[in-house]
Amino acid sequence: MKNKWQAAFEVAKYTNYDFLHYDQDTDMIWLKDRKKKTLLCLLDMDLSDRELESITDNIFNSADNLSAIAGFPVKTINLYHLTEKKFTRKFKSKTLRVNHRTVSNLEKIISNPFYKIDMKYKKPKDDAFYKRRLMSRHPFEKYMIKFTPMTLLFVTLNTIVLLINLIFVHLFNTYELTNLLAVSHYEVASGEYYRLVTSTFLHVGVSHFLFNIFALYILGKFVEGIYTPWHLLITYLAAGTISSLFSLVFITEGISLGASGAVYGLLGLIIVHLLITRKIKAKLLIQIIAVFAAVSVLSMFVANVNHYAHIGGLITGVLLGVIFNFRRVKLKYTIIAAAVLILFTMFSHYGMNRQTSIHPMDDEALYYYEKGDYDAALEVVNNSINKNAATDMTYYLLGKLYIEAGDEEKGQQYVDQSYEMDPSNELAAKEKILEFRKNQDYDNMNAAIDKLETPVEDEELQILIDEAN
């Protein structure tokens, strides 16, 4: 490869090296790897032995200056010569190693297998493009350059799930996948905890998907570029899961889905990192706030936005930000953050289990029933029964639908079945208490009242209880 700027760009994209500076006098491009305390220099000139030794002497003489520019004590400098001439030269002092190597193929520097695929199909651009991207002072630029496989994996998974869900909805006219993967209080409280994870890959529609994926792509590359793919994996799954669990403390009806809880977790992590490393600059802060504002504003156009999940994700991301930076903060703060994260998760789980709810399909059927759309309500009820997902509320609604259709005897049988399945079902209990009162069966009436959980939410049922007392 003869294109030096493209070579520098590819190294910065596929390795841990970041652009450091460009020396116009010597026409040398410098990159740095902070973790390995190493500098990398790219040259495309054929040098004589004397010129090579002269450059090496200059490097040793300016070692302190190079360390100051890099921001860390440099231990090794690797100079790669993009030339057909083959040689290897090594020099060292007490504190510094300088290695010269020739490379005709960047695969000797870049071991990432995706680089080979990328280079096979990508058309090279001119030097100006690569130079502009590498030397940009845009705060996000160096992270946007990076190849971030975990971010791409999450974007791909979200996209695949969206496409499959759209096929289910628009071709087969069913919300089977949504009902299977989305979070609902009833089903999570019943033990289907997998929904806390699967719901973070599911979106209600294209617009919902697009603004979540836009934020995920930007913030994901930032997190993965600062840390590692595993940090992104942990943050996405932890923030997505805990945020959904936290939201169930407050939302007990309907379903919720989407990656926004995980996205807010990434945002919280980035903010804490910038605060801890003191890299908050006005331009960077404005851009982070802009991303945050864009997610918040765009979410207003989606019905039933789960703001509790956003709060839960942000809290989780902030706590993980402290934990991930344990080397930069005092040990006690790391321990406190870990303890708070555990307690926050336990509180969310406890709070969720303290709430009561009905099956989301029953909730949908009840919604249609109360609107007077009995055909739609019956379709949902039959769907629950066919899927073996029927509950006491399902049979209560089925009974009420039979009564509305004029078959009071069969309808009452289903209402009685609902009450037998769960005597604490307030709607079915109200029907039975009214029946007992009508028949002046006060013993069974009082027994039915004793089986109810307190406090009673149904106002009409509460009046009946007050009258009985």
The catalytic residue among 184, 256, 260, 348 is: 260
Question: pLDDT (tens digit, 9 = 90+) per residue, 236-273?
Answer: 999 999 999 999 999 988 889 999 999 999 999 998 98
**Average of per-residue pLDDT values in the chain:** 88
pLDDT at 2: 57
- Dist. CA 160–CA 181, nearest whole Å: 14
Q: What is the dihedral of CA 103, 104, 107, 110, to 10 degrees?
A: 50
Which residues, 6 or more positions from 325, have their beta carbon under 8 angstroms from its beta carbon? 272, 273, 276, 277
pLDDT at 47: 84
Say whether pLDDT at 454 is over 60: yes
What are residue 88's DSSP bridge partners?
101
Q: Is 67 a catalytic residue?
A: no
Say whether pLDDT at 283 is over 70: no
Q: Give the confidence band of 213 by pLDDT, cuts at 50, 70, 90.
A: very high
Whole-structure pTM value = 0.82
Question: pLDDT (tens digit, 9 = 90+) per residue, 370-396?
Answer: 999 999 999 889 988 888 888 899 999
* Average of per-residue pLDDT across 10-35: 91
pLDDT at 343: 98
Say whether pLDDT at 82 is over 90: no
The catalytic residue among 81, 208, 310, 359 is: 310
Sheet holding 18-23, edge to edge: 18-23, 28-33, 38-43, 76-81, 97-102, 88-92
Distances (CA, A) of 432 to 66, 105, 421, 449, 451: 85, 82, 13, 10, 12
Neighbouring CB atoms inside 10 A of 89's CB total 15
Sole residue written with tokens 């007490």 = 94
Q: Please name the amino acid found at residue 327.
A: R
pLDDT at 291: 63
The DSSP code for 451 is T
Closest to 4 measured CA to CA, from 25, 35, 33, 31: 31
Neighbouring CB atoms inside 10 A of 157's CB total 13
pLDDT at 360: 85
For the chain, counts of helices (H) and of strands (E): 23, 6
Please give the share of the chain, as a percent, with pLDDT higher than 70.
Answer: 94
Q: Give the confidence band of 336 by pLDDT, cuts at 50, 70, 90.
A: very high
* Average of per-residue pLDDT across 10-23: 91
Q: Is 310 a catalytic residue?
A: yes
Q: Give the confidence band of 108 by pLDDT, cuts at 50, 70, 90.
A: confident
pLDDT at 340: 97
When mean pLDDT is compared across 119-123, 245-249, 310-314, 431-435, the lowest value belongs to 119-123
